[in-house]
Amino acid sequence: MKGNVLVGQSGGPTAVINASLAGVFKTAKERGYNKVYGMRYGIQGFMDEQYVDLSDHIKNELDLELLKRTPSAFLGTCRYKLPEIHEDKSVYERIFELLDKLDIEVFIYIGGNDSMDTIRKLFDYSLLTGAKQKFVGCPKTIDNDLAITDHTPGFGSAAKYIATSTKEIICDAMGFSYKKKNVNIVEIMGRNAGWLTGAAALSKSEDCEGPDLIYLPELPFDIEGFVEEVKKLLEKKDVVVAVVSEGIKTKEGKYVCEYAGADSLDAFGHIQMSGTAAYLAQVVKNELGCKTRAIELSTLQRAAAHLASKIDVDEAFNVGGATVKAADEGSSGVMVVIDRVSDDPYQSATGVYDVHRIANGEKVVPRKWINKAGNYVTEEFLDYVRPLIQGHYTPMMVEGLPRHLSINLKNYDWSAPRGK
């Protein structure tokens, strides 16, 4: 009889991260694994023995379908960086002690760059110690910055939400355009990669002009040049909509959000981005004397399951299943990747790739996909993104609101014996 599967979710959630979890659970059961345990709050919670048997919470096909439509991390997530093996071996001894206790045969981690680093380190430790477990990474990030894979689950739905929201912001701004100049600056997530910011250009269509300016973090940002661009546009039109990445920085390497006072750091030592649009809106107001508005989409970009792309949900589910298949067929120390087979009609397939080539890497928008002026994306960029936002999963509505699956642990006895 096969052993058990352990799955966790890590880093920033997405609208479809739970579709991958559903794919892991369903495929593990179909392939004959005994139990599928879910880590509560990723590897950090697991080290505190926070885990659940997913069969207690996913009891039928309806639960599985609800899970696919549920935003955020169903299991809870964390931002925890494992030390290097030589720095603190005791951390690894603790993890592998628990893996043995639970008879874990397959360890799956759903996440982005830092999560793949976790897979890399655990796999390397298993090689050093001869541990039996297999370690497979399941890609997830709205930022779309994982190396090797054509794109990541979560990106398509976030792009769809951003394009839709940009379109609605433009409609709102146009309603106040009579004899009144106004500038709207929209801030989109993306520290070093501008995939999400560029997706705002999808809003340009027969019924919408789209944003006037788009600035990605791949190129240095000139604050004075930005104000001059806005000034020129206001000479021709009454409403200007600019979209900026939260991670834009000057040629000196300083993030624009730092001018707004952002200085707090996350668990990995990264500046916590916020305030880029607000700072630029104030600069424009001071320099040009017009009405300005800053819109920060913030966590809405990764929580909008009601607007998830069908392509994205289906691929996330398939990728989750593919992680189990990869381990079941002998792979370890790998991440499942998405390969684009064709654009018209759009088709994709899954494969596996050495996680050492992916962990801690970063895929950014190619320079050729940004226009010469550096203030918009090209048609080639849009051709890449457009297939990923297609289709829609209708939420299961109850009393006018979408119903989600949740873990009820209010009366859960964490001290009760658990394991094999």
Q: What digits encode the pLDDT tens for the residues 188-197?
A: 999 999 999 9
- Mean pLDDT for 332-338 is 98
What is the structure's pLDDT at 266?
57
Domain with CATH 3.40.50.450 in the chain: 4-141+307-360+391-402
Q: Give whole-number Cα distances, 260 to 55, 79, 137, 255, in Å.
A: 47, 25, 37, 9
Average pLDDT over the chain reads: 94
Q: How far apart are CA 188 and CA 341, in angstroms?
A: 29
- Mean pLDDT for 336-350 is 96
Which sign does the torsion angle of CA 7, 11, 17, 20 carry? negative
CA atoms within 13 A on the CB side of 343: 8
Q: How far apart are CA 287 and CA 342, in angstroms?
A: 48
- Mean pLDDT for 105-115 is 97
Find out whether 126 and 331 touch, Cβ atoms under 8 Å: no
- Mean pLDDT for 31-43 is 98
- The CATH architecture of the domain made up of 4-141+307-360+391-402 is 3-Layer(aba) Sandwich (3.40)
Q: At 180, is the pLDDT very low, low, confident or very high (cuts 50, 70, 90)?
A: confident
Give the residue numbers annotated as catalytic, written as ranges: 143
Cis peptide before 345 (omega within 30 of 0): yes
Q: At 273, is the pLDDT very low, low, confident or very high (cuts 50, 70, 90)?
A: confident
Q: Report CA 274 to chain centroid distance, whole Å.
A: 17
The tens digit of pLDDT for each residue in 153-174 reads 999 999 999 999 999 999 999 9
Find out whether 357 and 148 touch, Cβ atoms under 8 Å: yes
What is the structure's pLDDT at 410?
54
pLDDT of 78 higher than 80: yes
0.85 cut: is pTM over it?
Answer: yes
Domain with CATH 3.40.50.460 in the chain: 155-303
pLDDT of 267 higher than 90: no
What is the structure's pLDDT at 412?
47
What is the structure's pLDDT at 414?
43
pLDDT of 328 higher than 60: yes
Q: What are phi and psi of 41, to 5 degrees?
A: 65, 45
The tens digit of pLDDT for each residue in 211-264 reads 999 999 999 999 999 999 999 999 999 999 999 999 999 999 999 999 887 565
- Mean pLDDT for 47-58 is 97
What angle, rounded to 10 degrees, do the helices at 17-30 and 61-68 form?
Answer: 150
pLDDT of 309 higher than 90: yes
The tens digit of pLDDT for each residue in 355-412 reads 999 998 899 999 999 999 999 999 999 999 999 999 999 899 999 999 999 987 554 4
- Kindly state the tokens that stand for 230: 């806005």
- The CATH architecture of the domain made up of 155-303 is 3-Layer(aba) Sandwich (3.40)
- Ranking 175-179, 204-208, 295-299 by mean pLDDT, the lowest is 175-179
End-to-end CA distance of the chain: 12
